[in-house]
Amino acid sequence: MRIAVPVDNDKETIFKRTGQAPFFAIFEDSVFQTVIANAHGKDGHNHHDDEHGHEHAEDDAEHLGHHKKDVAGLAGCDVILVQMVGEHMREALESFNIKIKKIREKDGHIASEVVKNFLAKSEVI
């Protein structure tokens, strides 16, 4: 099973907001394979806020298109383990047939730990 996990700049720590994660760690079962940069990540994610914190309307199709481009490198992954995922990111992931599984903080803070715990629970079910 190919598993993606949104991670911070250290490429190990779970990043809470999937669409803003700087990287995605990729595992084949419990074995780490690589990291893929997310161009829409924390430093590249533009919320289109004005100085008052109001979000400017961006065309939904355009926003979804950005996310699809950003997650194209995840194509072939079976599942992504996330704490939080926004509507556009969810749609982008689902367009690549990637299943979204919610995790909680108690599942771990490091990608390899979260993957190991997910796989252990999957075997029980």
Q: Domain spans of the chain?
A: 2-124
Sheet-wide strand order for 79-82: 31-37, 23-28, 2-7, 79-82, 99-102
Beta carbons within 10 angstroms of residue 24's beta carbon: 26
pTM for the predicted model, two decimal places:
0.81
2-124 belongs to which CATH class?
Answer: alpha beta
How many residues are there in the chain? 125
The mean predicted confidence, pLDDT, of the chain is 84
CA-based R_g, the chain, Å: 15
Helix (H) or strand (E) holding 81: strand 79-82
pLDDT digits (tens, 9 = 90+) for 19-72: 899 999 999 999 999 999 987 675 544 443 333 343 444 567 776 667 677 788
